Structure 1
Amino acid sequence: MQTRQSGYFTQERVIAANKLWQYISSCKWCQSKRARDLVNVARMSDSQAATVLSISPSTVRSLRSYASRKIYSIIGKDCIAVIRNGNSNDLFKLCCKLHYHLYGYETASNWIPEKVMEMFLKNGRTSTQVYNLSQCLRELEFLARYDLVRMSLKCSRVNPDKLTFLLEILSGTSTKGSGYTKEDVVNLIFRLQNKNIGKK
């Protein structure tokens, strides 16, 4: 069911559209010179792009068709429909997916608000306990909130030591003997983002 705001350019839709363009222009979906060339002429007609790239209009159309299929295979065929008509849950899910594909396993501060990192890493942990990730589901769900506003609503419900344990792994100052990698934690967070989208 569509929301009453369906079809309007709400802030959520603008954010999702900007993030989609950020992903497309990053060329992370296909890191080749041809992909970068296509992005540079994205706002041109087929004939204008053909002139700039010194290829035929039909080749431009073929390349654009391939690029669309490639991007849709990663982000989802319905990404444009979600931006135009999706509800808040769908938009949030799309933003999470785009954010993940843009930043992947790079530094945690790229996708976890800096204030959250500082809050828990500033003084370090008070214990040396090593947790199993299955013991940290509430804290993982907290990190899956994606933005500072949503995180602040959940902050009082988490175990600070467990959360710092996770943030140490994510920041690369890994917890002794945990055996977990940044990828392990990010994968769980991404799954929880998809499972818990839109929960307040």
Structure 2
Amino acid sequence: MELNPEDVRPLYADRDPVHDFEHILRVMHLAERIACIEGADRAVVRAAALLHDVCREEDHAVASAAFARRWLADRGASPEFIEAVAHAIEVHRFREPRVARTLEARVLFDADKLDAMGIIGLARLFAYSGVHRYPLWRAIGEEETDADSAAHEFFRKIRFLPERMQTETGRRWAEVRLARMRQAIEWLETEIRGEDLEGW
């Protein structure tokens, strides 16, 4: 069963820019590329990517998997296909990791995390800060909360992603994006301190 992205576009209407339909498309494209390299089932990976953030409540991975089971069953998908897609969705979350039993689940996990890295990841960090009215940037060492600023999200979560990736392709690509993101953050901190320009 090959899903058309346009079939799920309405499910992501009125989303914030962090988890909108563009995020879904980016994850889908990354997941399909990893699936091709790693030998995963592309149809399962594609469907899982398209439905992985369809619900946004607290445990959105479990809720999205339950939605995917109903939605795919209504469209005549086989029980085996449905379970493969739902499992991948259930275990894709970083903060509450569950064991990925299939290659397709590992591929989705990596694709989703790759979209949190690099320059696009930095843009999403700032969008998240804006949506939740967090400071644009705050030096590490000041009082921290669970989602204090874009800086804290990077140093608490994102810089550890390469070692958490679950495919060889994902790990390799994560290192590339992390290096790019780290360099951008170093420049950002320099500019925030006003130390990037000569002539003083």
Q: TM-score, normalised by structure 1?
A: 0.29
Highest RCO, 1 vs 2 (Cα 8 Å, sep ≥ 6): 1
Structure having the higher Rg: 1
Q: TM-score, normalised by structure 2?
A: 0.29
